[in-house]
């Protein structure tokens, strides 16, 4: 079976930001090599249907955690992680090689951290506009 356009986009974005397709809590185990990045898809919403294509907007969240360097403010470290995620995802080809119409930063935040933790993290949400041929989610009208 051919991967859907949605799956192709998620795979390409995960590769671009060096992410695992799993919840962050599953990746943060005792011997995890840091930094670690998790990527998860949110919901899809049909934007419009025209010219034999269904145009969709999907939300995707990337979360990254890294160890704090000595003397670095945790908030500053989290903001640097957020900036890196935004830059990696949107700094080059925002069509992911023609898989989508556009990829935009939609919002982000520092991840909550426990007092005294040696880790800092950030979460970035992206809005991905893509299309597939009506009735065939594995075919893109953009190709």
pLDDT (tens digit per residue) in 68-106: 988 899 999 999 999 999 999 998 899 999 999 999 999
Q: Report whether 143 contacts 133 (CB < 8 A).
A: no
d(C-alpha 42, C-alpha 26), whole Å: 17
Mean pLDDT across the stretch 13-21? Answer: 97
Mean pLDDT across the stretch 49-74? Answer: 93
Looking at residue 86, its pLDDT comes to 98
Give the confidence band of 116 by pLDDT, cuts at 50, 70, 90. Answer: confident
Total of domains in the chain: 1
Q: Which domain holds residue 90?
A: 5-133
Please indicate, yes or no, if residue 88 is contained in any of the structural domains: yes
Give bridge partners of residue 92 from the DSSP assignment. Answer: none
In three-state secondary structure terms, 118 is coil
- The whole-model pTM stands at 0.92
Please indicate, yes or no, if residue 52 is contained in any of the structural domains: yes
pLDDT at residue 48 is higher than 80: yes
d(C-alpha 14, C-alpha 125), whole Å: 13
Q: What share of the chain is helix, strand, coil (3-state, %, to 5)?
A: 25, 40, 40
Task: Name the burial class of residue 30, with classes exposed (0-12), middle (13-18) and buried (19+) by CB atoms within 10 angstroms of its CB.
Answer: exposed
Name the more confident of 27 and 115: 27
Please indicate, yes or no, if residue 129 is contained in any of the structural domains: yes
CATH number at residue 89: 3.30.2000.10
pLDDT at residue 1 is higher than 60: no
Looking at residue 35, its pLDDT comes to 94
């Amino acid at each position: 079976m051919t991967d859907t356009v949605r799956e192709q986009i998620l795979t390409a974005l995960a590769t671009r930001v060096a992410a695992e397709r799993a919840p962050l809590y599953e990746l943060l185990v005792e011997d995890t090599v840091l930094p670690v990045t998790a990527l998860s898809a949110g919901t899809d919403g049909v934007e419009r249907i025209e010219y034999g294509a269904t145009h969709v907007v999907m939300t995707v969240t990337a979360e990254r955690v890294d160890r704090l360097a000595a003397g670095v403010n945790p908030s500053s470290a989290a903001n640097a992680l957020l900036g890196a995620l935004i830059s990696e995802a949107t700094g080059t080809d925002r069509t992911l090689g023609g898989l989508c119409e556009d990829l935009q930063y939609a919002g982000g935040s520092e991840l909550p951290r426990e007092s005294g933790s040696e880790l800092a993290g950030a979460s970035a949400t992206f809005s991905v506009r893509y299309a597939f041929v009506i009735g065939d989610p594995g075919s893109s009208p953009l190709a």
